Amino acid sequence: MDFPISPSSPTLTSTTAMLRNRVPRLLRRGILIYLVCVCVLLFTLNIDLMPSVASSGGSVFRRGTVLHKSRKLDSLGGFPKKIWQTWKIDPFSFEERDSRTASSWTIKNPGFRYEVLTDSNDMNYIEQHYGPGGFNRMNIVDFYRSVNATIIKADLLRYLIMYAEGGVYADIDVEALRPVHRFIPERYDESEIDMVIGVEIDQPEFKDHKILGRKSQSFCQWTFMAKPQQAVMLKLVENIQDWLTNLAKKQNVPIGEVVLDFDEVISGTGPSAFTAAIIEEMNERSSGTRIVWDDFHDLWESKVVGGILVLDVEAFAAGQGHSDSGNHNARGALVKHHYHASNWPSRHPRFSHPVYGEVERCNWNAECVRKWDEGVETFRLLPPEEQQKRIDEKEAQDSQQQPAPGLNLGLELRNLNVAPLL
């Protein structure tokens, strides 16, 4: 006769004890191992997404040593897979045209991080990276804070970003035509390259021109790529600091009140300053023959000098109508500059002759520049009364929107079929 097993049955008791003593222990051990594995996996996948808020309380995140190491390990040949842009406002408030150019970078480079520094968070970024918790360069922090000129701050910021973190910098009005991996031709070893730059203006025949000379030979700084902590980037910042400080002393005003014209901006912080610093860096890195602009004149194939890869003018500056820059449909064209954000010359005007206007409107056309020079020289030799008469006639013609008598630069440009300089 079978009897039902009661709770106090020896058989049930021993079975229950076995399950209680063995199965839970195995489960607990398995669950513990599982949780540890999950935590390790989550930490590995999200290490670049776990910043802490900067001490300044702004919207810029502090990125510590661990993050910088992970970036270098996650880059190809040392170039961080990061795209930087700077603008007045954040991407959520972009105009449609800015959204289109910005999105071209993320579409062409899906594996890259994309960040925009704005007027509301740039100071937080500088304090974070160059304050006591970063490179501890408070002189740079204080200097950046004291600068008011928008274009100067924009140039400073791109150099400071690229020194601190590296990656790709592009102006907000620059469209990506090709992915970033096309910046470095396959024949080069990426680990041996520290920077990638391109020619912008290659018109050395104007190097002695009183206005065009300083701009006639330059590398492009609206788009370039660099590994972190390249000495030339910090050197550029220090050069700008010295230059603007001395200029403020000459004008007897604070740095924030310095008045600058177009050429001073170009030569002090822009492409001319960038080019001079790059060539100086090349000479410091290279032994033997001195590096000069002639080494890049009529460049039809990229070359590496002292670890700096120089691309031809078509790469970053196609479609300019000068410097044999080609067009944006070419295979070698990597970006397209739309110039819609380039309105800073209105605040830092070029030299404009009262009768013949701006020589830059010739857009490096030799015949147009020659006629401008001749007209300006002829005007200089006129008696003051005749000069004033010519000026009055020009102003009267302009007010009626009619061509001025004699040499009119706008007419010359149309006759020569030359696009005006933007």
One domain, residues 340 and 366: no
CATH number of the structural domain spanning residue 59? 3.90.550
* Cα dist from 364 to 111, 185, 323, 335, 420, whole Å: 39, 30, 8, 22, 10
* Residues 193, 162 share a domain: yes
Residues 259 and 401 both lie in one domain: no
- Coil, strand or helix: which one is 238? helix
Report the SS3 class of residue 75. coil
> DSSP readout, 304-352?
EETTEEEE-HHHHHTTSSSTT---TTSTT--EEE--TT--GGGTSPPP-
Whether 395 and 246 map to the same domain: the answer is no
Q: Is the pLDDT of residue 320 over 60?
A: yes
Residue 177 DSSP class: S
- Read off the pLDDT band of 286 (50, 70, 90): confident
Q: Which pTM value belongs to this model? A: 0.78
Instruction: Say yes or no: 240 and 316 in one domain.
Output: yes
pLDDT of 332-387, one tens digit each?
A: 999 999 987 666 556 678 889 999 999 999 999 999 999 999 999 999 999 999 99
Is residue 98 assigned to a domain?
yes
* 116 lies in the same domain as 139: yes
Centre a 10 Å sphere on the Cβ of residue 12 and count the other Cβ atoms it contains.
12
In this model, does residue 154 exceed pLDDT 80? yes
Measured between alpha carbons, how far is 312 from 199 in angstroms, rounded to an integer? 6
Q: Residue 140 belongs to what domain range?
A: 54-346
Residue 240 has what pLDDT? 96
For position 57, what pLDDT does the model report? Answer: 36
| Residue 32 pLDDT | 61
Q: What value does the CA radius of gyration of the chain take, rounded to a whole number of Å? A: 30
Flag whether 86 is in a domain: yes
Q: In total, how many domains does the chain have?
A: 2
